[in-house]
Structure 1
Amino acid sequence: MPRDLQEILAIAQSIGWGAAAILLDAQQTSFSIEQAGESPVTTADLAANQYILDNLQAALGVQDFAYLSEETFKSQPIADRLDRPWVWIIDPLDGTKDFINRTGEYAVHIALAHQGRPVLAIVACPEKDKLYYATLGGGAFVETRESETFHSQPVKVSTKNQPEELTIVASRSHRDDRFNQLMQQFPCKDQRQVGSVGGKIAAIVEQQADVYISLSGKSAPKDWDFAAPELILTEAGGKFTHFDGSPLHYNQEDVSQWGGILVSNGQCHEALCDRAVSLLAAIDQSQPF
Structure 2
Amino acid sequence: MKDLQEILKITREVGWGAAKLLRSYYHGTAQNPNLDVQYKQNEPVTVADVAVSEYILSQLQAAFGNEEFGYISEETYKSQQGKNSAELVWIIDPLDGTRDFIDKTGEYAIHIALVQDTRPILAVVAIPEAEKIYYATKGGGTFVETVDGSRPLKMAADKPMEDLTLVVSRSHRNERLEYLLKNLPCQKQKAIGSVGCKVTAIVEQQADIYISLSGKSAPKDWDMAAPELILTEAGGKFTHFDGKPLEYNTGDINQWGGLLASSSQDHEILCQKAEQTLAEFVAK
TM-score range, shorter chain: over 0.9
User: Secondary structure, in 3 states, of the residue corresponding to 2:43?
Assistant: coil
Q: Is the 8 A contact 2:241 2:275 kept in 1?
A: yes
Correspondence 1:1-289 to 2 at 5 A? 2-29=1-28, 30-36=33-39, 38-78=42-82, 81=84, 83-145=85-147, 150-286=148-284
The count of residues paired between Structure 1 and Structure 2 equals: 279
Q: Is the 8 A contact 2:121 2:138 kept in 1?
A: yes
How far apart, CA to CA, are the structure 1 residues paired with 2:170 and 2:146? 27
Percent identity of paired positions between Structure 1 and Structure 2: 58
How far apart, CA to CA, are the structure 2 residues paired with 1:106 and 1:140? 20
Q: Which runs of 4+ in 1 moved over 3 A?
A: none
Q: Is the 8 A contact 1:95 1:106 kept in 2?
A: yes
Letter of the 1:9 counterpart: L
Letter of the 2:142 counterpart: A
User: Secondary structure, in 3 states, of the residue corresponding to 1:67?
Assistant: strand
Letter of the 1:64 counterpart: E
1:130-178 Cα distance to aligned partner (Å, 9 max, x none)? 0000000000000001xxxx41001122323421011110111111111
Shift of 1:217: 0.6
Q: Which runs of 5 or more residues in structure 2 are unaligned?
A: none
Shift of 1:77: 4.6
> When the two structures are superposed, what TM-score results if normalisation uses the length of structure 2?
0.96
1:168-220 Cα distance to aligned partner (Å, 9 max, x none)? 10111111111011111111111011000000011001000010000001100
Q: Is the 8 A contact 2:25 2:35 kept in 1?
A: no
Letter of the 1:187 counterpart: P
User: Secondary structure, in 3 states, of the residue corresponding to 2:89?
Assistant: strand
User: Secondary structure, in 3 states, of the residue corresponding to 1:254?
Assistant: coil
1:228-274 Cα distance to aligned partner (Å, 9 max, x none)? 00000000000000000000100011100000000011410000000
How far apart, CA to CA, are the structure 2 residues paired with 1:52 and 1:273? 35
Q: Is the 8 A contact 2:228 2:238 kept in 1?
A: yes
Letter of the 1:113 counterpart: V
Letter of the 1:221 counterpart: P
Q: Is the 8 A contact 1:161 1:268 kept in 2?
A: no
Q: Is the 8 A contact 2:36 2:46 kept in 1?
A: yes
Q: Which runs of 5 or more residues in structure 1 are unaligned?
A: none
Q: Is the 8 A contact 2:97 2:108 kept in 1?
A: yes
Q: What is the root-mean-square deviation in Å for CA atoms of aligned residues?
A: 1.1
Letter of the 1:76 counterpart: Q
How far apart, CA to CA, are the structure 1 residues paired with 2:82 and 2:279? 35
Letter of the 1:67 counterpart: Y
> When the two structures are superposed, what TM-score results if normalisation uses the length of structure 1?
0.94
